[in-house]
A and B are shown apart, each in its own frame.
Chain A
């Protein structure tokens, strides 16, 4: 079974600053995907970024980028030039390749607050 750990229950930064959210995971799988999802107050789960484990290059999506360290089983999310609209819960999630078998395994989330 897989586990996903987010060690920061809450973080707060000033608008326009850069913030990094941490995520570690444990798995015996070699092929898998990692995701960051954002859940704003509306509670809609929104995909932020996706990383395939077999790709060494870190994924980027505009202001969002990841630092994927496969050997260390670490998958952190960096948000650059943070905006008020980035305030939300952020969840790290794991799924084995080809495996809807267990669905996504989620961490407990980090509540990110962007201060004006």
Chain B
């Protein structure tokens, strides 16, 4: 089955710690994205990557970092510099430049203790 997986489903972090959220896709999509969702709001773009070894900041990239070493994988690190990291994080991928349709993973709920 083709799809997008995210792990873990729930993640707890102590203040001052870095944590990494995993995102893997087997849809053979070139583009991958990370979004953040807060209560009462739509999704906001953190980072995106159109090809391997290249990525661009989105609207709210401060306090986050990413890597794209493989086409299938786009991990997100939430650093201690992120002031309010408690949120729901969604990863997506798309056939960029074709239909531009993004498909989402099941999400990771990050809570700072």
Contacts and interface: CB of A to CB of B under 8 A. Distances in A.
B42 A103 contact: no
Contacts of A85: none
Nearest to B32: A100
Chain B's interface size range is 20 to 34
Given A44-B106, A44-B107, A45-B90, A100 B42 contact: no
Contacts, number: 67
Interface in B38-66: 40-45, 48, 50, 56, 58
A99 to B, nearest CB: 7
Chain A's interface size range is 20 to 34
Given A33-B100, A47-B103, A97-B100, A91 B42 contact: yes
Given A43-B88, A108-B41, 10 more contacts: A33-B100, A42-B106, A45-B43, A45-B90, A45-B92, A95-B100, A100-B31, A100-B33, A104-B92, A106-B43
